Amino acid sequence: MRPRHMLPPAWHLLPALGFIGLAACTSVPPPVQPIEPPHPVAQVNLAEQTLERAIRATGQRPPNLARARSLLEGLLAADDPDARALHPYARALLEQLGERQRLTTLNERLTEQLERSTAALEESEQRSATLQRKLDALAEIERSLAPRGPAPQR
């Protein structure tokens, strides 16, 4: 075999031509068709979005109960089939909101009552302490006025 530099000039192109020839023999694969999911993703309808917004409004800190109530009442007023399917859930949530608002109001009223009772107790304790100091002062005056010896008979 002759050294590479001694080969005719076209010989070094032979492997490249072989690869090009092999590449030309292959066929182009068919275009790939996108595979659709077996169950198409359903779009969330407007009634479900309204219900979700109402639920999110109740979970905020602080909760926006008035907004949730208005969304649920609007959902109950809607007459389309999607909204009617959600009416039982909306009624249940509306009932829970009413109970939550009632309990919140009751809690606020009881908290105010507790604060008033606490203030009255503190005031009563202060009066009691003041009266005890006055009693102690009177007892001390009484002891200082009493004779030290036997009481004189009349």
82-119 residue pLDDT tens: 889 999 999 999 999 999 999 999 999 999 999 999 99
- Any domain includes 87: yes
The span from the first CA to the last CA of the chain, in angstroms, equals: 161
- Any domain includes 147: no
- Any domain includes 63: yes
129 vs 61, higher pLDDT: 129
- Any domain includes 40: no
Owning domain of residue 74: 46-117
Cβ-count burial 109-118 (b if 16+ within 10 Å, e if not): eeeeeeeeee
- Output the pTM of the full model: 0.52
Residue 49 has pLDDT above 50, yes or no: yes
Query: How many C-beta neighbours within 10 Å does residue 68 have?
Result: 23
Residue 62 has pLDDT above 80, yes or no: yes
CA distance 61 to 63: 5
- Any domain includes 68: yes
Domains contained in the chain, number? 1
